[in-house]
Amino acid sequence: MAKAYGIVSAKGGVGKTTVTANLGAVLSRDFKKKVLAIDANLEVPNLHLYLDMLHLPLSLLNILAGEAPAAHATYTHSGTGLNIIPGSFADKRVDISRLKDIVDEVKGRYDIILIDSHPHADVETTGVMKASDELLIVTNPWLQIVTSNLVTVRLARDLGVPIKGVVLNKAERSEEEMSAKEVEDSLNLPVIARIPADIKVYRGVEKRTPVVVETPNSPASKAFRDLAQALLA
Ligand SMILES: Nc1ncnc2c1ncn2[C@@H]1O[C@H](COP(=O)(O)OP(=O)(O)OP(=O)(O)O)[C@@H](O)[C@H]1O
Ligand SMILES: [Mg+2]
């Protein structure tokens, strides 16, 4: 039975999709796990673009609407074996509360399920959290982003969904940014990964190839492997 991890953050652009793509890629390719990544960001669904998987006919919306079974909207990334259910733009309000049923239904087929989400702490975030067994909160090491995520922590606690830890992404060791210890103290949670800010990560998104595929020995790729290890430990 798979464990489902929601990848959440109150803020946009912190790296939720980058973490989902790279973590999913290393878990599949390096750790030989059966992994499904679901793009539950209904605002800006772009996980498939980060993996160069274009023109996919079905998406999570078709599954949520009961128009297709999950298996029909599941596609495999050729470079890594990572399976994804892509998102697509919602032109009308979608009932995200069914996500939990969908995740529960497919759990038997995978070792790990990753659920990418949109920023905020709203009804969609609630749907993602309720579908998750544990959460990873993605933040950057900047005070305003870290403190915004107090709302994410509170929502998770209100829903009773455990938080595995914080992924501190785009870390640079500058004097202005918060240290891992300061982030831990602010959110009262462990930092389980520290991913460096690295132009190679950015270029990976531009080239639609995750950094762990393009430059597997870069420090950022190593950090993604360490994160995978932490989830499997
Ligand atoms: N460690 C990193 N180093 C350098 N650039 C990064 C890193 N992580 C993410 N980025 C870049 O930051 C941008 C935002 O990343 P991403 O799309 O993963 O964020 P997001 O949290 O999913 O955003 P949204 O909330 O809009 O879905 C992208 O251009 C990505 O390439
Ligand atoms: Mg995203």
Span 101-160, pLDDT tens digits: 999 999 999 999 999 999 999 999 999 999 999 999 999 999 999 999 999 999 999 999
Can you list the domains of the chain with their CATH numbers? 3-232 (3.40.50.300)
Q: What sign for the dihedral angle of Cα 43, 7, 22, 84?
A: negative
CA angle 107, 30, 116 (to 5 degrees): 45
Q: What is the pLDDT, as a whole number, of residue 116?
A: 98
Give 194-205 pLDDT, tens digit per residue. Answer: 999 999 999 988
Give 63-76 pLDDT, tens digit per residue. Answer: 999 999 999 999 99
Percentage of residues in the chain with pLDDT exceeding 90?
93
Closest CA to 27 of 18, 17, 37: 37
Cα 109 to middle of ligand 1, angstroms: 29
Core vs surface per residue 164-199: b (16+ CB within 10 A) or e:
bbbbbbbbeeeeebbebeebbebbebebbbbbbbbe
Q: What is the pLDDT, as a whole number, of residue 92?
A: 75
Q: What is the pLDDT, as a whole number, of residue 102?
A: 98
Under DSSP, the state recorded for 136 is E
Atom of ligand 1 nearest to the CA of 198: 3
Sheet holding 83-85, edge to edge: 75-76, 83-85, 35-40, 112-117, 3-8, 134-139, 163-171, 191-196
Q: What is the pLDDT, as a whole number, of residue 173?
A: 85
Q: What is the pLDDT, as a whole number, of residue 54?
A: 96
Summarize the confidence of residues 6-30 as an average pLDDT: 98
Q: Is 49 in the pocket of ligand 1 (CB under 6 A)?
A: no
Cα 42 to middle of ligand 2, angstroms: 10
Atom of ligand 1 nearest to the CA of 11: 25
Tell me how long the chain is. Answer: 233
pLDDT above 90: residue 219: yes
Q: Is 201 in the pocket of ligand 1 (CB under 6 A)?
A: yes
> Which residues are in the CB-under-5-Å shell of ion ligand 2?
16-17
Q: Is 41 in the pocket of ligand 1 (CB under 6 A)?
A: yes
Query: Partners of 83 in the beta sheet?
Result: 36, 76
pLDDT band at residue 30 under the 50/70/90 scheme: very high
The two tokens of residue 27 are 């878990």
β-strands 83-85, 75-76 pairing: antiparallel
pLDDT above 80: residue 91: no
pLDDT band at residue 90 under the 50/70/90 scheme: confident
Q: Which residues contact 153 (CB under 8 A, 6 or more apart)?
A: 137, 163, 187, 188, 189
